[in-house]
Amino acid sequence: MADTSRSSGVLGASAIISRNQCRVKSMHASFVIVSNAAVTIKLFDSLDNSGTEIARMHHSTTGQYNIEFDMHGVLATTALFLEVTEASSSTVNVSVEFN
C-alpha cells in the first residue's frame, strides 16, 4: 500500500488544518525575515492554540530561510491547528503534511 498523505496547502496565517485525529508527517516553512523582526509558527493538537503544542519553528535573523521538520507520524489525537505570529514586515508560508 502506498504511503500517501494530505497537505494543508500553503498557509500564511493561523488556521485549522484538520478537525480529526491524524498523524503529522512533516512541516515545511519559508521565512522572509526583515530587520530581525521575529516570526513564530506553532502546531497544536487542538482546534485552537489551547491544546498541546507539538511543534514550533522560530526565526529572527534577517534573511530568507526554508526549514523542514520531519515529524515521523506524530499522532494528533484531537485536531490540528497552526498558529502563525509575524512581526513587522517579516512573513512565513507554511505547509503541513498529514494523514
What's the DSSP call for residue 51?
S
pLDDT at 97 exceeding the cut of 90: yes
pTM for this predicted structure: 0.93
Q: Note the pLDDT tens digit of each residue in 38-79.
A: 999 999 999 999 999 999 999 999 999 999 999 999 999 999
Mean pLDDT of 9-37: 98
Q: How confident is the model at residue 2 (pLDDT cuts 50, 70, 90)?
A: low
Mean pLDDT of 18-23: 98
Q: Give the burial class of 39: count Cβ atoms within 10 A of its Cβ; 0-12 exposed, 13-18 middle, 19 or more buried.
A: buried
Contact of 66 with 33, CB cutoff 8 Å: no
Contact of 83 with 49, CB cutoff 8 Å: yes
- The pLDDT assigned to 4 comes to 86
- The pLDDT assigned to 77 comes to 98
Phi, psi dihedrals of residue 54, rounded to the nearest 5°: -110, -15
CA–centroid distance for 2 within its chain: 24
